Chain A
Amino acid sequence: MAFERFTRDARAIVRAASQEEAQTQGTGTVQAEHLLLALSAHATLQHLDLDHDRIEQALIQEEERSLASVGIASGDFDGPMASAAPRRTRLATSAKLALQRALVTAQRHQDRRIETHHLLLGVLAADHGRVPRALEIAGIDLDELRARL
């Protein structure tokens, strides 16, 4: 991944996705939804009113529904949440895809640098996975959001 073309803010988002969002959820695997959470909390995108807590709740609901669909009630496992201890981190495929799509978006806009709004467009470009499912649960209109970027 060509991080040298990322602006300082865009790099900060990738770092926050890993060190704050994924780590808080007790995983070293950075997924597209962790990028989305980091983006929603970032100063450069506050005008979009992406509510970090609302997205976080929607992701929890998405998980509960998915488990329920195969017969597991949430709360069946009463173990502790995975520890938020620092661990080896790696970008999962969904996050890599989002970053690649951000790159393509910046190229299409003929922007040399990859900025935070390119990252968000890259994350929102996913047709499948937890990001579109959680956004739907949160009642966030993807087309309307994309149009504002």
Chain B
Amino acid sequence: MSTAPPAVPDDPADALAAVGALRRLADRVEDAAVARAVAEGWSWAQIAEALGVTRQAVHKKHARGLAAANQKTGGL
């Protein structure tokens, strides 16, 4: 059975809510991906290049949370 890709919901409120939900999902994926990369020894510069953002942006967003998580678990 071929399924057509879903269209944008007809109701703008639903369509805009979907954008918000996707952004939150993307943030979760990003958190997990960055944590994995750091654990495997990637530098902030490498992670930033892979994400297509500046090193400062990725550091600002993730450094503090990762440091706290590491402290809690005694390393990843």
Residues of chain A at the chain B interface (Cβ within 8 Å): 26-28, 62-63, 66-67, 69-72, 77, 79-83, 85-88, 128, 130, 133
* Total of A-B residue pairs, C-beta within 8 Å: 70
Is chain B's binding surface mostly helix, strand, loop or mixed? helix
Is chain A's binding surface mostly helix, strand, loop or mixed? loop
- Interface size class, chain B: 20 to 34
Say yes or no: A66 contacts B68, CB within 8 Å.
no
Q: Which residue of A lies closest to B64 (CB)?
A: A87
Task: Pick the contact of B28: A28, A66, A79, A128 (CB < 8 A).
Answer: A79
B21 interfacial contact with A, CB 8 Å: yes
Say yes or no: A26 contacts B31, CB within 8 Å.
yes
Task: Answer whether A69 and B29 are a contact pair too, CB < 8 Å, given A85-B72, A87-B68, A130-B20.
Answer: no
Say yes or no: B9 contacts A70, CB within 8 Å.
yes
Q: Which of B60, B64, B65, B66 has the most CB of A within 10 A?
A: B65
Minimum C-beta distance from B59 to chain A (A) = 11
On chain B, the residues within 8 Å of A27 by CB distance are 24, 27
